[in-house]
Chain A
Amino acid sequence: MSDPRPSAIAVARAVVACEQKPGGANQGLQTLMTKLEAVLGKLIGSNGFDVLLARALKLAAREHGVLAQVTVSAGGELAGLPDGATELEHGMVALLSHLSELLMKFIGEDLAIRVIREAWPAATHLESKEIQQ
């Protein structure tokens, strides 16, 4: 398994930036997954989304121990999220980077970015040159 490509990391950063709201990284991560599940679940099925997320979580947990105890249940529900704000925020970017990378590998960058953009239609960050390249 290779590291996420620059465009996958850029997508993850853009999405996380959109979801930085009061309530902490913990809540932000769950909101983010719920939004992604609504779009991706429709396309590849809820089970498909859960499987993809679980795989991305395993990959991200290797780099960020804060995610080691996190598990995925039906509908992209994350259990075992710790409270540590900064470390979790980094883990969140890593998790999304791996999820985007997997999606890009399977359905291609173009379609992957289109799908993610559907979840955050107002996110101008997702229009950036860095992502499109």
Chain B
Amino acid sequence: MSTSQKKPALPLVHTGVPGLDAVLGGGLPEYSFNIIAGGPGAGKTTLAQQIVFANATAARPALYFTVLGEPSMKMLRHVQQYSYFDANKFNSAVRFVNLSAEAMKQELGKIFERITEEIEKVQPAIVVVDSFRTILRAGNAEAQIQEFVQRLALHLTSWEATSFLVGEYEIVESHNPIFTVADGILWLTQTVERSASVRQLQVTKSRACATVPGLHPFAISADGVRVYPRMLPRVELAAPPPASRATMKRASTGVPALDVMMGGGIPEGEMTMVVGPSGSGKSTLARHFIASGAAAGETGIVAIFEEHAGSYLARAEAFGPSLRPFIDAKKIEILSLRPLDLSVEETLAGVRDAVLRTHAKRLVIDSISGLELALAPIFRDDFRESLFRMISGLAGTGVTVFMTVSLVESFTELGLSPYITEFLADSLILLRYVELDAKLEKIMAVVKMRNSAHDLSIRHYRIEQSGVTIGGSVEGYRGVLTGLPILTARSEEHGASRVEPQAGS
């Protein structure tokens, strides 16, 4: 084809289902013939009705054919429970037509006649047949079914309708002839693993559209279906980073001595991971970081997974710094995400929505270990990959991220993260317990800062009511990071030096 030839326009119908257009590459092609397939309870009818109510208008009505299956009265009762239902569109913009009498006669010809008669009368822009499978179950031969589907697809297209056949199919049936005719196929699945239920959507076919491949988690709430795309389109809210890191703006950690260790603070828009064992002060450092931003007028989000917002705030009150005044002033928002069947995509969507809604400059994720527990087991297997997707999804928002990671202490090796995700972070702070002079001490080190100079020493620190105090470096020992340091020979002669931590030093 010559490049000068004009391609026919392919307008897209926006589904009105949050997240679905992003998966579909913008929407569904106008006049396309689509199949919404899945097992019982997968959410097929909810999805179809949500698309219908989002798109139908008096000028461009929708026809919703119900067949055998869920009794229409119950279906009408149920659809009203969702916020997308609009009573003013009922039987005007959205017309329901029951085909059970025709379906019971098991004659495809009669069903076709009735459908075409209604289409010609109403001239709809959207047509749904729910459930289509029940029509085809009526003992008709495969050739008859294929002919019926072909005729129906042609008829619906010639009447300029975007159509949806809703059917109970399992993915193993994808060889069914009706899938050959379809322009688009949306598979909905619901799986249960270790008591956690997970819904996922997959676009297995979409003619002429660049869809996002893979399984996309979705949830059904009182607002209907919401899809969480595996890869969110990147947002570009932040200005590109400056050419020289020396001129990069820094966000204070809220602990002046730690800012000094980090060469002036955390580079804005970057991600810092603080890794340490239970009780080492990871959450305290995170609170200092978020409170410091709020005190400077920056909005912040704290995403927590292990406890309710109330107990998190009470702990902040007890161990400092208090976050309550910033919550009251709407400078900090706590997102408590606790269900045990979350997907990373759902978590990311919640966090990203909050960041974009509040124009947050700082984000705390406390903790990655809690997030892993909150996820449905099916998503834990590829947690590292999921974390990567989450971090990628936050990139571009300009938010400075501070994540905490719990680490089980090992006295034989230096662990930086149980997820081998430290390479994802721009900066890495390690907290450890060590035995020094028969006492348990806390030490801190800035292990990594991407392309930035930082303090390489290992320092003592203390967590007190007044805040985090960082002391001098641990000198005269080797193997400090193993947790069981050994005095060097020189130190044995002269005595190891130890500088006591000073508040704010």
Point out residues on A near B: beta carbons under 8 Å. Answer: 41-48, 52, 106-108, 110-111, 114-115, 118
Which chain B residues in 59-88 approach chain A with CB under 8 Å? Answer: 66, 71-74, 76-77, 80, 87
* Contact assessment for B98 and A42 in the assembled complex, using a CB-CB cutoff below 8 Å: yes
Other-chain residue from B73, B80, B97 in contact with A48 (beta carbon distance below 8 A): B73
Q: In chain B, what residue has the closest Cβ to A74? A: B101
22 pairs, CB–CB < 8 Å, chain A vs chain B: A41-B98, A42-B98, A43-B97, A43-B98, A44-B71, A44-B72, A44-B73, A44-B98, A45-B99, A45-B100, A45-B101, A47-B100, A48-B71, A48-B98, A48-B100, A52-B73, A106-B74, A106-B76, A106-B77, A107-B73, A108-B77, A111-B90
- Smallest CB separation, B83 vs chain A (Å): 15
Interface string of B258-298 (1 = CB under 8 A from A): 00000000000000000000000000000000000000000
For the residues of A in contact with B, the DSSP-based class is helix
- Smallest CB separation, A49 vs chain B (Å): 9
Q: Which residues of B contact A52 (CB under 8 A)?
A: 73
A-B contact count (CB 8 A): 52
| B379 located at the interface, meaning its Cβ lies under 8 Å from any Cβ of chain A in the complex | no
- Smallest CB separation, A106 vs chain B (Å): 5
- Smallest CB separation, A132 vs chain B (Å): 13
The distance in angstroms between the C-alpha atoms of A41 and B80, with both chains bound, is 20
Q: In chain A, what residue has the closest Cβ to B92? A: A114
* Interface hub of A45, A48, A106, A107 (most chain B Cβ within 10 A): A45
- Smallest CB separation, A21 vs chain B (Å): 26
The distance in angstroms between the C-alpha atoms of A47 and B97, with both chains bound, is 13
Q: In chain B, what residue has the closest Cβ to A108? A: B80
* Contact assessment for B87 and A107 in the assembled complex, using a CB-CB cutoff below 8 Å: no
* Contact assessment for B76 and A43 in the assembled complex, using a CB-CB cutoff below 8 Å: yes
* Interface hub of B66, B73, B77, B96 (most chain A Cβ within 10 A): B73
The distance in angstroms between the C-alpha atoms of A107 and B71, with both chains bound, is 12
Q: Which residues of A contact B99 (CB under 8 A)?
A: 45
Q: In chain B, what residue has the closest Cβ to A118? A: B91
Q: Which residues of B contact A110 (CB under 8 A)?
A: 87
What 8 A-B pairs have minimum CB-CB distances, sorted nearest first?
A45-B98, A45-B100, A44-B72, A107-B76, A106-B73, A46-B101, A44-B73, A110-B87
* Contact assessment for A43 and B72 in the assembled complex, using a CB-CB cutoff below 8 Å: yes
With A111-B87, A114-B87, A114-B90 known as contacts, the answer to whether A42 contacts B97 (CB < 8 A) is yes
The distance in angstroms between the C-alpha atoms of A43 and B76, with both chains bound, is 9
The distance in angstroms between the C-alpha atoms of A26 and B80, with both chains bound, is 36
With A114-B87, A114-B91, A115-B91 known as contacts, the answer to whether A107 contacts B77 (CB < 8 A) is yes
- Smallest CB separation, B124 vs chain A (Å): 15
Q: Which residues of A contact B74 (CB under 8 A)?
A: 106
Interface string of B45-69 (1 = CB under 8 A from A): 0000000000000000000001000
With A106-B73, A114-B90 known as contacts, the answer to whether A47 contacts B101 (CB < 8 A) is yes
Q: Which residues of A contact B100 (CB under 8 A)?
A: 45-48
The distance in angstroms between the C-alpha atoms of A106 and B78, with both chains bound, is 9
The distance in angstroms between the C-alpha atoms of A47 and B73, with both chains bound, is 12
- Smallest CB separation, A72 vs chain B (Å): 16
Q: In chain B, what residue has the closest Cβ to A110? A: B87
The distance in angstroms between the C-alpha atoms of A14 and B76, with both chains bound, is 24
* Interface hub of A41, A108, A111 (most chain B Cβ within 10 A): A111
Q: In chain B, what residue has the closest Cβ to A41? A: B98
Given contacts A42-B97, A108-B77, A114-B91, 7 further A-B contacts (CB under 8 A): A42-B96, A43-B96, A44-B73, A45-B72, A45-B100, A107-B73, A107-B80
- Smallest CB separation, B428 vs chain A (Å): 57
- Smallest CB separation, B499 vs chain A (Å): 74
* Contact assessment for A111 and B76 in the assembled complex, using a CB-CB cutoff below 8 Å: yes
Q: Which residues of A contact B76 (CB under 8 A)?
A: 43-44, 106-107, 111
Q: Which residues of B contact A118 (CB under 8 A)?
A: 91
The distance in angstroms between the C-alpha atoms of A53 and B72, with both chains bound, is 15
The distance in angstroms between the C-alpha atoms of A41 and B98, with both chains bound, is 7
Q: Which residues of A contact B90 (CB under 8 A)?
A: 111, 114
